[in-house]
Structure 1
Amino acid sequence: MESRAAICMGPNQPLIIDSVSVDPPKDGEVLIEIAATGLCHTDLTALDGSNATCVYPLIPGHEGAGRVVEIGRGVAGLAVGDHVIPLYGPECGDCRMCRSGRTNLCWSIKATRDKGVMPDGTPRFHRGSEKLHHFMGTSTFSRYTVLPEIALAKARKDAPLHHICLLGCGVTTGVGAALDDVKPGDTVAVFGLGGIGINVIQGARLAGASRIIGIDLHAHRRELATAFGMTDFLEAGKERGHIVQAIRDLTHGGADVAFECTGLIAVMRQAFDCCAPAWGCCVLLGVEPAGAELSLPPVGVRYGRKIKGSYFGGVKGRSGLGSFIDLYMDGKIAIAPLISHELGLDDINRGFEMMKRGEALRSVIRFE
């Protein structure tokens, strides 16, 4: 099958828009037609070469939604015509991680996913005689893409695909993380008000936080963050070294929970330091540069502060994503206001330039 796609030939090169060949699904695999896909900061790690798992050339994209076109042998849970959301974190249900009940991580296909190929060791994309690799096991910047069944979440058909595509990463990651860690009455600090941070805010609001402090370099994000539930705003560029103290002052000693959504090591340390002694919790959501390390004073942890990570908001994709679609359809979480731009595939490079300049919250590429 022929498909229009955005191809990354190597780091720091513009995406090439071209026609590619997509092989049929093999055993346990599903061919889907992508209706819409979001542009996420994590995709930039493929474009700038900072993602150690990327194998070039590749087709980026991991925040999409679409319809099942064809199923491979052995696929039992999906049928042609089903609406689905690709999952960069699968859920096989059988591995030690899935059976543990302690994590939403599933590494059953991680070894091949991180090599840019399907579980059988081969890619499904070709451009002429050249093989094209997959990105995060999803490659949603192609109109047609192939995924294992265990990496697809079934979606209700009345949910608009160009909205619920953002549940494939940003919305679920932010809202899920907040619902995991915020208790009614908590004070919350959110570092970075991009696609993840804004959703942490609406998740913290849902969880019943009493005060939600947003910190960002871009003052123009204040209005939207306030609409989503933020109570206080600190402009990072002006506060700089005083951010931690400012948060301590606003929270009478430190935030109950702080969420780091930038991937910057210095900001991670600020998020940890602003937490309340004895019980404050710092949650890391931003993707750090390859090889980065974070240093912390042991006494901060010894006295009871916690630091943890959150992957996809702690949500198990196949079994848990449906409840987030329901929250959206019931009007409890908002998605449409997050979409600052709708673009065609030909404008994808412009979309990433707007992202890097801080001009776009979330751009969505629509294939239809």
Structure 2
Amino acid sequence: MIDKPRPQALAQVMEISPYVPGHAPTKGSGPSFKLASNENPLGASPAARQAVIDVSANLETYPDGSARALREAIAQRYGLDANRIICGAGSDEIFQMLAKAYLETGDEIIQTTHGFLVYHLVAQQSGAVTVIAPETQLRTDVDAILERVTAKTKMVFIANPNNPTGTYISFEDVRRLHAGLPSNVLLVLDAAYAEYVRANDYSSGIELVSEFENVIMTRTFSKIYGLAALRLGWGYAPMHVIDALHRVRGPFNVSETAQRAGIAAIQDQTFIETSLALNDAQRERLTDGLEDLGLAPVPSVANFVLVNFPESLGKTASDAAKYLDAHGVSVRAMAAYKLPDCLRISVGNAESVDAVLSHLADFLKTS
């Protein structure tokens, strides 16, 4: 039989290591807790759940391609211009739109050492090169980023707060970063965890977008709003950026179910405040408990805690993850983020925090 040529994917695509999401724990006889994906332990707002039920009566109808009602709800919540908002299937899709609209082979993006993996993936899809800027004490280093800007730089991605470190930089530092960038470089501010931050010197970046032509801020409904299953995110940007993104956006990229649930969720401030209060209390318990066990958690402003397992303990992060999984608790290993000695643990409810601390205490006692 004669071998025939077959379709070949682009070289840069075949170099991509697919993103691996957090996994559910191994099922055991007792309760289990998925703490690997930074999901809201309270689930979603009752109003959002009812919206999903209501949509089921009209599943034959296409959604509004522009997500007009959702954009207006977001605009009303934050005092924005709805025309400068774009919605996507999670903020991940907005990153993909940015890559399609602005990156080509030979271009460069900059991200930090432990920045979100998806930035690198979308750059690879377009044949662009990812330049890594080192962090300082697991925090975005503005000077390190600016030192790496070249004529090839097209975008700078920072997650603020950062995933997986849980750290943030002040709005003053974000402004300094922007001020040091050429006007043709797009600054992408990924504010997926912004709702959790209580610090007075923090801002998600809305002000910068309103003031300048080369900034976009992205947000998600997957975390505080508990709508991860529906895949919903949004971005706020100058009109010329929004225009470009609409030209590469799929015509019906956000389902009607996601749009209706998003509207209900963003209007349910009581649910948001309840979620925040739970996260504040349990994050403190988790952090203090990890310290009491002799571990080294990184102070976090998000809904997860990164914890280091010192070599001196003789217990590796990988071993701890396997032990927890065998006892019904899944957490996120961090080797892919160049943090092989760390685990990222989502902040859950009181029962899940108790389970993590109890199982880790047993793990550290075993020979």
The verdict on a shared fold, with TM-score over 0.5 as the criterion, is no
TM-score by length of 2: 0.34
Relative to total residues, which structure has the larger strand share, 1 or 2?
Answer: 1
TM-score by length of 1: 0.34
Larger radius of gyration: 2
Relative to total residues, which structure has the larger helix share, 1 or 2?
Answer: 2
**More contact order relative to length (CA 8 Å, sep ≥ 6):** 2
